[in-house]
């Protein structure tokens, strides 16, 4: 597995979370795919940060394991 240090970086480059976005909170979304949910959250995060796709270098996403799906 590559690490920032093995790729030539110091591993201490500054990063920041500048916007957040969440999808609509319901138990099931039949109107959109998983990829659509990711896009929905990303678009909302960009709007929150007042940025566009061209303004960012990377996107980090996360999803709970299926074991937790539907658990509130």
Structural domain boundaries of the chain?
Answer: 20-55
Query: Confidence band (pLDDT; 50, 70, 90) for 4?
Result: low
How does 19-55 read in b/e, with b if 16+ C-beta sit within 10 Å? Answer: eebeeeeeeeeeeeeeeebbebbbeebbeebeeeeee
Residue carrying the six token digits 């093995």: 6
pLDDT digits (tens, 9 = 90+) for 46-66: 999 999 999 988 777 777 777
pLDDT of residue 5: 55
Summarised one tens digit per residue, pLDDT across range 29-45 is 889 998 898 899 999 99
Q: Residues of the chain with pLDDT > 70: what percent?
A: 82
């Amino acid at each position: 597995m590559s690490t920032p240090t093995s790729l030539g970086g110091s591993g201490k480059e500054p990063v920041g979370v500048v916007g957040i976005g969440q999808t609509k909170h319901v138990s099931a979304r039949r109107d959109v795919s998983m990829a659509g949910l990711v896009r929905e959250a990303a678009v909302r995060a960009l709007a929150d940060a007042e940025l566009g796709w061209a303004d960012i270098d990377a996107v980090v996403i996360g999803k709970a394991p299926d074991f937790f799906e539907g658990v509130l």
